[in-house]
């Protein structure tokens, strides 16, 4: 394959990778992932658990489903969401652990992010 073509494919992969990671870049969506850790849940219950109105929640769920982070199952008029791939929890946990260590070690982190 030509060099220039290979380079473009790499760039494309970085774009899709970034697109996927956008899922993790919002606190509500992280809470959704963590809430679905062990089992599926329907939209109404997610809404009360997380404390967010259903319209907004549904938007978040929709974009997470577009990116294949969540999948759904429908029973009557209830929609159940669950994690598409439990391995993503490993990535979630690694980053959260790094974060917690940093907060313990480096009090300035909080300030750096709040300026």
Partner DNA sequence: ATAGTATTTTATAAATTTCTAAAATACTAT
Partner DNA sequence: ATAGTATTTTAGAAATTTATAAAATACTAT
**Residue in 25, 87, 107, 114 binding DNA, rule: CB under 7 A:** 25
Is 73 in a helix, a strand, or coil?
strand
**Candidates 39-47, 52-60, 63-71, 72-80; binding stretch for its own copies (CB under 8 A):** 63-71
Angle at which helix 43-50 crosses helix 54-66, to 10 degrees, equals 110
60 binds DNA (CB under 7 A): yes
**Residue in 6, 59, 78, 100 binding its own copies, rule: CB under 8 A:** 100
**Residue in 20, 35, 40, 42 binding DNA, rule: CB under 7 A:** 42
Q: Which residues, 6 or more positions from 24, have their beta carbon under 8 angstroms from its beta carbon?
A: 30, 33, 92, 95
74 binds DNA (CB under 7 A): yes
For residue 92 the two structure tokens come to 């979630």
């Amino acid at each position: 394959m030509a060099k220039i073509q290979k380079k473009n494919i790499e760039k494309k992969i970085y774009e899709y990778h970034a697109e996927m990671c956008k899922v993790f870049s919002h606190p509500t969506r992280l809470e959704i992932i963590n809430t679905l850790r062990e089992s599926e849940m329907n939209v109404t219950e997610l809404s009360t658990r997380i404390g967010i109105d259903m319209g907004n929640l549904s938007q978040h769920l929709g974009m997470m489903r577009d990116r294949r982070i969540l999948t759904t199952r429908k029973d009557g008029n209830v929609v159940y969401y669950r994690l598409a791939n439990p391995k993503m929890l490993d990535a979630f946990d690694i980053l959260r652990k790094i974060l917690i260590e940093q907060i313990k070690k480096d009090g300035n982190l909080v300030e750096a992010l709040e300026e």
